[in-house]
Amino acid sequence: MADYATPGTIAYLEGQIKGARQDAIHSEISAVPFVERMSDLEKLNWPDALDGEPKTWERFCEERIGYPASYVADLHRGCLILKARGHRVHIPAGEAITAAQEMAADPDVKPLAPANTTGQHNRTVDNVNGRPDGNSASYIVRRLKRDHPEIAAALARSINRRRHRDARRGPPQRDGEAGSR
């Protein structure tokens, strides 16, 4: 019998992967369980779930979960943004993605200053500052703008395309009104 309850076992990892796929199915209601499960999976030995090379997070997300890693990252950023705005329980995936896109498109959200590359304090493992906003949505988007401006620009363009598409459609029609489908 497989040991789904013992962390560190392949059976446990496979159970978490199955759970993430289930959580993804329900992410239109709330993306929070999916985002939390994916964050937990990142801390596990997920490369063991891949055969062959390369053993990358991008490949893992695509092949084992069924979603691109960039989508998972956008959901994570969006959930952080909406939680910072006071959302507590259910955050639909569409709202989370839109929040991440809007912050990336906001010209007032400036990139972080260049990372410290001199002195004794640059030998840390991660690139998170010690201030209270070290893992906030604002920090993550500003870091994205600094370290990967092309990705931040693509994220910003996607919200602009959505706004343009929605503007062409006009306001939603109620059933029975002229022009409704």
pLDDT band at 114 (very low <50, low <70, confident <90, very high): confident
Question: So what's the pLDDT on residue 107?
Answer: 84
Average pLDDT in the 97-116 region?
81
**Mean pLDDT computed over every residue of the chain:** 79
What range does the domain containing 156 cover? 10-114+132-169
Q: How many CA atoms lie within 13 A of 29 on its CB side?
A: 6
> Is position 137 within any domain?
yes
Does a structural domain hold residue 52? yes
As given in the structure block, the two tokens for residue 146 are: 């600094």
Whether 121 maps to a domain, the answer reads no
**CA–CA dist 178, 181 (Å, integer):** 9
Query: Does any domain span residue 97?
Result: yes
Q: Is residue 126 part of a domain?
A: no
Interatomic CA distance for residues 33 and 62, integer angstroms: 18
* % of the chain surpassing 70 pLDDT: 72
Angle 69-84/93-105 helices, nearest 10 degrees?
80
Quick check: is 164 in a domain? yes
Taking only the tens place, the pLDDT of each residue in 14-48 is: 999 999 999 999 999 999 999 999 999 999 999 99
- pLDDT, tens digit (0-9, with 9 covering 90-100), for 47-75: 999 999 999 999 999 999 999 999 999 99
Residue 178 lies in a domain: no
The number of folded domains in the chain is 1
Q: What is the pLDDT of residue 160?
A: 62
Q: What is the pLDDT of residues 3-16, one digit of tens each?
A: 667 888 899 999 99
| Main-chain dihedrals φ then ψ at residue 34, nearest 5 degrees | -65, -45
In SS3 terms, 36-68 reads as: HHHHHHHHCCHHHHCCCCCCCHHHHHHHHHCCC
Please report whether residue 144 resides in a domain. yes
Is the pTM value of this prediction over 0.95? no
Percent of the chain with pLDDT over 90: 38
Torsion on CA atoms 119, 125, 128, 132, rounded to nearest 10:
-100
